[in-house]
Amino acid sequence: MTHLHQLPPVAAVLIAIFVVLGSSLALLGSLGLVRLKSFYQRLHAPTLAYSYGTLLIILGSMAMFSLIEERPVVHEIIIGVFMMITTPITLLMLGRASLRRDRDAKLGHDERVPPRTRATDAAKPPAPDQAAPR
């Protein structure tokens, strides 16, 4: 906060708008996580923070530190890249785990889940995904 007076007012206002918009998206995503009904719906809420929430905060941070240090500061891009390539792994694992739970064990059904395979494989027992025919 001590450096804010070094910024030109226009830039400060723009950066503030970026950061406030980005963190509002993150807040909305977290609220959605609480308010939505089923597990699959809840998967969608955090992506608000993950997509434009992150993007806006990163842009604000890059603009602010580039102006203060008077050189282009771009290493925030790496944060964005890591978010982009790692988040799908968690989401996919969570999604598939809950699909498997809902199909096999018939424990707490959140939503009606489509069957794993279509007519051609209907006779086979529901095998784990990796157990492809050798």
Partner 1 sequence: MTRMIPHPLLSALLVLMWLLLTRFSMGNLVLGSIIALAAGWSVEHLHPSRPRIRRWRAIPQLMAIVIWDILKSNISVARVLLLGPDHPAYHSGFVELDLQLREQNGLAVLAIILTATPGTAWLEYDAEQSHLTLHVLDLRSEADWQALIRDRYEALLMEIFE
The residue ranges that bind partner 1 (CB under 8 A) are 25, 28-29, 31-32, 35-38, 40-41, 43-45, 47-48, 50-52, 74-75, 77-78, 84-85, 87-88, 91-92, 95-96, 99, 111, 113-114, 116-118, 120, 129, 132
Name the minimum Å distance from CB 19 to partner 1. Answer: 16
Q: Are 63 and 14 in contact (CB under 8 A)?
A: yes
Estimate to the nearest angstrom the gap between the alpha carbon of 127 and the chain centroid.
29
Do residues 9 and 69 lie in contact, with contact meaning Cβ atoms separated by under 8 Å?
no
In the complex, least distance from residue 104 CB atom to partner 1, rounded to whole angstroms: 14
Q: How far is the CB of 8 from partner 1 (least distance, A)?
A: 26
Helices (H), the chain: 9-35, 39-42, 46-48, 54-69, 76-100
